[in-house]
Structures are given as C-alpha cells and as structure tokens.
Amino acid sequence: MLRSTILAAARNRRIQHLVTTAPVSRGVVHRFVGGSDTDDAVRTTRELVEDGLCVTLDHLGEDTTDRAHAESVTSAYRRLLDALHAAALTERMSTLTARAEVSVKLSAIGQALGADGEKIALDHAREICAAAEHLGATVTLDMEDHTTTDSTLRILTELRADFPATAAVLQAALRRTEGDCRDLATEGSRVRLCKGAYLEPESVAYQKRQDVDLAYVRCTNILMRGRGYPMLATHDPRLIAIGIDRAAYHAKAPGKDFELQMLYGIRPHEQRRLAEKGHTVRVYVPYGAEWYGYLMRRLAERPANLAFFGRALTTKG
C-alpha cells in the first residue's frame, strides 16, 4: 500500500510542486543527487573515483514526448562525456573516464515518440555510445516499466552489434526476467540486475518483497553461471553476501568478473568497505534538475529508504 501511494505521488504534479519548491528538500537533493549540472557531475565522479569507486551517471529526465527535448538530453550526455575527458586530461587522471560510464533511459531520448520512437531512441543511443567508446567509457541502457522491455532489448541488440560493451538492466521483480537472464548471460555481456522500481501489475511482476528477493537470487545464480559480466545492484546485505558467495562458487573473481552497484548517498561507508576488500563497486549517480521522479521511485522501491531521506533532512552534509 505504501509503495503504490509513493508511486502515485511521483506522477502527481501538485505534490511534485510542493516537494520541489520546499526549502527543506535541498538537504535530500544534496545527499542523494550528484548535482544539478555537468560540472557537479564531474566533481562528484572525481570524488568517488578518488575513493576507489566506479561511477555510472544518469542525466535525470524521462517520458520525453518532444523530439527537441530528446535531442537536448542526447547533447547533455555528449557534454558530460566531453567534460569527463577534459577533466581527465587536465588533471592527469586517466581513471576518470576508465572508471565512469553513463546510464541512459531510452524514454528520455525518444522511445515514447510514437511509431518512430524506437528508431529515434536507437539513433540517439548510437550517438551516445560512439562518444563514450571514443573516450574509453561505456553505456548502460536503463530498464523502465514492463511495457518498454521488449523495445529496450531490441535496441540493446542493435547497439551491441557495433558497441558490444553496452550493458543491459534487468528487473528481478518481473516474472519474465529469469528467461531474459538466460538469454543475456553470454560471453562479454554486461548485465545489471536490480529489483525493480516501477509499480507493475501482478500478471507480469511479483508483488511480495520475499518473492522479489527469491527471484533476485535465482537471477543471480543464472548470471553467475553464465559467461557474462554480472552487475548486482542492491543495498540488501543478504543479497550482496549471496551474490559474492555465488560468484566464488562459479569461480568469478572479485574486481574482475563481476561488480556490485549501489545508489549515490545510500550506504556510502559500505560502498568504500567493499571496494577496499577488492570488489568493483559502482555508484549510480543521478544528476540534473529533474530529480523528483527519481527520488520517489527510490522510496517506492524500498520504503525503508524513507529513513535515509528523513535523516538527510535533519542532519548536515
């Protein structure tokens, strides 16, 4: 009930206005969003890389219904990649691009633009992938609600023909995902496994937290058995421990054959601890002005995150 209420609020314009204009919201944004512009994103990336972490950057915004907006989002990713490269050269910090990638929501670059949406999104994604490859970075295609899954996987297949390092995201909450894991657990295939942050009908998705967790473990086993590169996105200590155990069982080496992923601002000390133990830990860093929908989905994904956000409102830094 709480999850559905939060997701409903995510699309309520009146609530959005109240939250985004409230002075107290600045504390939440500072803690869980990597900044409002490209310079902020580069600064945050630099800080995380210096702490031994990897980064994936998400330019906030989705559900684009205007082609010009889709083109502006694509340009924003180009500017981000160029800025990371420039900073790496200026500061002689080659790891800045080598340890960074971008996460792209296809809905933000045109996927929802009618009959031509898939082609528009593919063309824009190609542009971003080419820019990333030129600079030694990579791209992950974020997964959104279940109505876009087939389209996203088709675009992924097209992109991988020229940019094989392009990563997929699969959501354990969807009933179909075990099959998708089998299809994608191939040589060189990078797959981020998350629980899923969208409100989906019971016909396509598990509804109970325990069922989602069990599905996550089953999907983890499939990916670890495969020849791809699993990327386990979770903050749940139990699932992290299971993932590390399954990796060891299938002879996947820490820091080489798989990685762990967490959100910016959540369990930062654990992120550094795992990195110090030799694991590749990638931090998902959202940046940009359109932060409201992102934070609401994080709350819905795990309502216990309310505690994290609440503390951000009452503590400094």
Please identify every residue annotated as catalytic: 142, 192
Tokens standing for 206?
Answer: 């598990």
Token pair listed for 217: 């473990």
Question: What does the DSSP assignment read for 7-26?
Answer: HHHHT-HHHHHHHHH-TTHH
d(CA 169, CA 106): 12
SS3 242: helix
- Compute CA distances 81 → 87, 132, 165, whole Å: 10, 7, 16
d(CA 157, CA 73): 22
Alpha-carbon torsion angle 169, 49, 38, 119, nearest 10: -20
Q: Which residue has the tokens 């139990």?
A: 238
What's the token pair of residue 22? 């409230």
Other beta carbons within 10 angstroms of residue 28's beta carbon come to: 20
Token pair in block for residue 162: 């020229």
List of residues 6+ apart from 224 with CB closer than 8 A: 230, 243, 246, 247, 249, 250, 252, 258
Alpha helices in the chain (DSSP H): 2-10, 13-21, 25-32, 38-50, 67-90, 95-98, 117-134, 149-162, 177-184, 209-225, 237-249, 268-276, 292-301, 305-314
Whole-number Å distance between alpha carbons of 80 and 27: 24
